[in-house]
Amino acid sequence: MADRDLRLNEQIRVREVRLIRDEGEQQGIMPTVEALALAKAQNLDLVEVAPQANPPVVKIMDYGKFKFENEKKGRDSKKKQKLLKLKEIRMQPKIDDHDIDFKSKHVQEFLAEGNKVKVTVRFKGRELAHTELGLEVLKDVLKRLEGEYVMERSPTMEGRFMSMIVSPKPKK
């Protein structure tokens, strides 16, 4: 134990520190060795809180418990956040009404789960000459959604694909 104390004293490079007790009250400026002795007497750690201050600010605390509580807060905040996923529904310009109904129901389910949905119409060969058919299909899907969405990106062409992105309406 004496060897450990000696090593700690050799590592100290700052003469004075501003000490904050474990209860949060300020003790004031004192020699570093004295602050270390106070922390040892309480079986706690001396943690440097603000090294850039003049003199540096240190606090007496149980460092292991402090780290554990910070990690616990981080885990709790991760649990509460909702990750948005982007789901995709693909169609073709020559699609039957029943198929549009079926795919629209899938889009509604994805929106109900809280996911964004990318609705894509894929053109093959000569279909590229009639992109207005794809636009009609996308508009038809929007009609069937019955206002349960927010248009995030309107229909745009990307190579052989025309797509739009819809997201769920924010809950009040």
- pLDDT greater at residue 3 or residue 135: 135
| Residue 11: per-residue pLDDT | 56
Instruction: Name the nearest CA neighbour of 133 among 121, 142, 125.
Output: 121
Domains in the chain (CATH in brackets) are 2-78 (3.10.20.80), 86-168 (3.30.110.10)
- Say how far apart CA 78 and CA 81 lie, in whole Å: 5
Residues whose CB falls within 8 Å of the CB of residue 144, separated by 6 or more in sequence, listed in order = 100, 101, 104
Residues whose CB falls within 8 Å of the CB of residue 87, separated by 6 or more in sequence, listed in order = 110, 115, 116, 117, 118
Q: What angle do CA 115, 121, 127 make, to 5 degrees?
A: 175
**Token couple for 78:** 């991760």
Average pLDDT of the chain to the nearest whole number: 85
- What's the rounded mean pLDDT across residues 99-109? 93
